[in-house]
Amino acid sequence: AQTVTQSQPEMSVQEAETVTLSCTYDTSESDYYLFWYKQPPSRQMILVIRQEAYKQQNATENRFSVNFQKAAKSFSLKISDSQLGDAAMYFCAYWPGANSKLTFGKGITLSVRP
């Protein structure tokens, strides 16, 4: 069975600084998707960034980038120039693909200090 591990329950970052959120996963599949979702207290689960396992290039979306290490089964999220609006719970998720189960990590609560 696939598992996703987010070992840090909470992190804090100073506004404008950079923070990295860690995630590891376990799978025997070779093709899959990895995601980071953000869930603010307003509760909407928002897609931050996605990575397809067959792509070697790390995904980037503006201030958000990932470090995808397929062999190590590691998928960390780097947030640059942190903003107050980045404060939220962040979930790392693994997905084999359509019509299958999206497996989430336990999540990490990120706070941003002004």
Partner 1 sequence: DTEVTQTPKHLVMGMTNKKSLKCEQHMGHRAMYWYKQKAKKPPELMFVYSYEKLSINESVPSRFSPECPNSSLLNLHLHALQPEDSALYLCASSQGRGGPGETQYFGPGTRLLVL
Query: 83 to 102, contacts with partner 1 by CB under 8 A?
Result: 89, 91, 95, 97-102
Q: Return the C-alpha torsion angle 54, 22, 36, 10, nearest 10.
A: 170
47 binds partner 1 (CB under 8 A): yes
Closest distance of CB 19 from partner 1, Å = 20
94/112 with CB nearer partner 1: 94
Closest distance of CB 83 from partner 1, Å = 22
Per CB under 8 A, which region of 14-22, 41-49, 57-65, 80-88 contacts partner 1? 41-49
60 binds partner 1 (CB under 8 A): no
